[in-house]
């Protein structure tokens, strides 16, 4: 993701009315640190949930994919690429 896009997303979050108390209590630089940490935590949680869904179904997320081995392997490769996981 480009730096401009990241900053755009941060500013959208930072200037939201829900962040008013945070804006009043800390500088924007600390807000960026907090935002980045929360995004990293969400990414880990989503990846864990995604992986758990795969493992529990044995057929892909929510059983949407056929259990045929070549399809399962293809789906795993696509999932890993989408999540940025190295093979």
Residue 82: pLDDT over 60: yes
Quote the pLDDT of residue 26: 92
**16-41 pLDDT, tens digit each:** 999 999 999 999 999 999 988 888 77
In the prediction, which pLDDT does 36 show?
86
In this predicted structure, what is the pLDDT of residue 53?
A: 63
CA separation, residue 21 to residues 16, 18, 58 (Å): 11, 8, 45
DSSP-derived secondary structure letter, 58 = S
């Amino acid at each position: 993701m480009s730096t401009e896009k990241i900053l755009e997303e941060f500013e959208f979050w930072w200037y939201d009315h829900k962040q008013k108390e945070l804006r009043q209590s800390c500088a924007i630089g600390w807000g960026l640190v907090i935002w980045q940490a929360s995004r990293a935590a969400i990414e880990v949680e989503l990846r864990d949930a995604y992986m758990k869904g795969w493992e529990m179904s044995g057929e892909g997320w929510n059983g949407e994919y056929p259990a045929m081995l070549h399809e399962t392997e293809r789906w795993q490769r696509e999932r890993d690429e989408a999540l940025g996981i190295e093979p």
